[in-house]
Amino acid sequence: MFQILKTFVSVYETHNFTRTADNLFLSQPTVSAQIKKLEEYFDVVLFIRHGKQEIIPTKEADFLYPRALKMMEEWDDTLLHIHIEQNYRESCVLACTQSCGMYLLPKFVPLLIERFPMIDFHFPIMEYKTIVHELEQSKLDFGLIEWPERSEHLQRYVVAQDELVLAGRKEANYWLINECMTPLQEINDHYLRENNLSPAIIRTNSYEMIKNLLNQGVGRTIISKLALSENTPFEVLEMDNHRNFYFLTKEEVVSDLLAEVALFIRTTLQENAPPNR
């Protein structure tokens, strides 16, 4: 049954029987047969088939998908811990956006690794929408983002607050734009349009580069106040310039140890929120 659920999850995510067959090293007829067996078991239609390529999940598939992920995750966790040894090390993947990775992680990681010495932590930096998507698919354990992306499959907790400011010298000739598709880029584009500004643009996909250029006196941009050095000039924005940092978890954390990690991260961040200067 778990192999069939694994096949179902792959078809649901790829919308394609052929791709699922390639991903799982199965034949396409085997994939079709497993989905048919699952549909017969539940006596429902899980996918609407339009031709050979287009596969559309039904509402029954939408209902089954998060539950199948949970069952598979619980099974994997059970297999790991049935054969647990004295030196077994748990793993934990906490994905962060660039801002969270620079300003929140350093505040609590020393406390985290001291509290949980038998856990191997991984802190990948990702775009916020990718974090939400991969957390929904149980590819991550937790996430830290600074934009209120909603998901019916995730829990979201406010753990700190940030302030956006217009940074840089007023006489600067360049505007700094992070070309990654983020709400911060949209905020900068909107500000330029609303104020009828047409400055020369410096584009980069590096938040760190933008921060360092500002701190070296090059260009202007709307950015987190936390990014600025003590000598970087800035103006308070007339718009609503506050945003929250959010800690994301799945609706239920399967491992008791990871549930303890989640609670520790939340409380530590809330107690040690970085102040605005």
- What residues does each domain of the chain span? 2-82, 91-277
Check: CATH 1.10.579.10 for 2-82? no
DSSP assignment, residue 220?
A: B
What mean pLDDT do residues 89-97 have?
Answer: 89
Q: Report which of 36, 3, 80 is spatially closest to residue 258, judged by C-alpha positions.
A: 80
Is 70 exceeded by the pLDDT of residue 88?
Answer: no
Residue 277: its pLDDT value, please? 43
Per-residue model confidence (pLDDT) at position 162: 84
The owner of tokens 């330029």 is: 192
Quick one: three-class SS letters along 53-73? CEEEECHHHHHHHHHHHHHHH
Res 276: pLDDT = 46
How far is Cα 258 from Cα 3, in angstroms, rounded to an integer? Answer: 25
- Residue matched to tokens 């390639």: 22
DSSP-based three-state secondary structure for 175: strand
SS (H, E, C) 103-141: HCHHHHHHHHHHHCCCEEEECCECCHHHHHHHHHCCCCC
Backbone angles phi, psi at 179, to 5 degrees: -80, 0
- Which of the four pLDDT bands, split at 50, 70 and 90, describes residue 83? low
Please tell me the predicted confidence (pLDDT) of residue 211: 87
Q: Is the pLDDT at 175 greater than 90, yes or no?
A: yes
In terms of Cα–Cα distance, which of 270, 254, 267, 217 is closest to 92? Answer: 254
Q: Can you give the length of the chain in residues?
A: 277
Write down the pLDDT at residue 86: 47
The dihedral built from the CA positions of residue 83, 86, 87 and 89, taken in this order, carries a sign that is positive
Residue 155 has pLDDT above 80, yes or no: yes
Encoded amino acid at 47, one letter: F
% of the chain with per-residue pLDDT over 90: 28
Q: What is the CATH number of domain 91-277?
A: 3.40.190.290
Evaluate if pTM is beyond 0.75.
Answer: no
